[in-house]
Amino acid sequence: MSLDKVISISGKPGLYKLITQTRGGFVAESLMDNKRMSVSVQNNISVLSEIAIYTLTEEVPLKKVFESIKDKENGGVASVKPKDSKDKLEEYFFEVLPDYDEDRVYASDIKKVIQWYNLLHKHDMLDALGDDEDLDKAKDEEE
């Protein structure tokens, strides 16, 4: 499953995968407890594939940040915990994304990225990160 089907819902913990569209929104399933819920279009929703992290030169897609964490951890869970100190989180993030913009990326953002990475790892969804690129290449070859 690509990150196009994984969302974050403002005010709700964790991540959700899109199941189906409904007339007034869609049905999402929590990756934390597998409970399904109806989500209205009025909810503030972020699709993970559209989230990026600010660096000093550009915005880096979240997918690339997850890939950097995965490379650093040799495919394992993050070695830092979301509840660790602000300094420890920032030090870890500098190892993952050396030129991230400290003024625009807060410790709370780093916590979320670590939580999301670990949740995707738990559900074996990190292997699908490269799938988006393969699809893009296939589309380019068709054109």
C-alpha to C-alpha distance for 114 and 55, rounded to whole angstroms: 17
pLDDT at 136: 44
**DSSP letter (8 states) at residue 100:** B
Residues 19, 63, single domain; the answer is no
Q: Are 40 and 52 in contact (CB under 8 A)?
A: no
pLDDT at 143: 44
How many domains are contained in the chain? 2
* CATH of residue 30: 2.30.30.730
Single out the residue of 117, 116, 120 nearest to residue 12, CA to CA.
116
Residues 66, 129, single domain; the answer is yes
Bridge-based pairing state of the strands 45-47 and 36-40:
unpaired
Tens of pLDDT, residues 17-61 = 999 999 889 999 999 999 999 999 889 999 999 999 999 999 999
Residues 76, 121, single domain; the answer is yes
Predicted confidence band of residue 3 (pLDDT cuts 50, 70, 90): confident
Residue 34 backbone class (left: φ over 0; alpha: ψ -120 to 50; beta: rest): left
pLDDT at 130: 59
Residue 16 has pLDDT above 90, yes or no: yes
Residues 41, 54, single domain; the answer is no
**Structure tokens belonging to residue 83:** 């509840």
Classify residue 56: in a domain, yes or no: yes
* CATH of residue 93: 1.10.10.1650
Q: Are 52 and 97 in contact (CB under 8 A)?
A: no
CA angle at 31 for the pair 49 and 55, rounded to the nearest 5°: 35
Residues 57, 42, single domain; the answer is no
Domain span at 8? 3-48
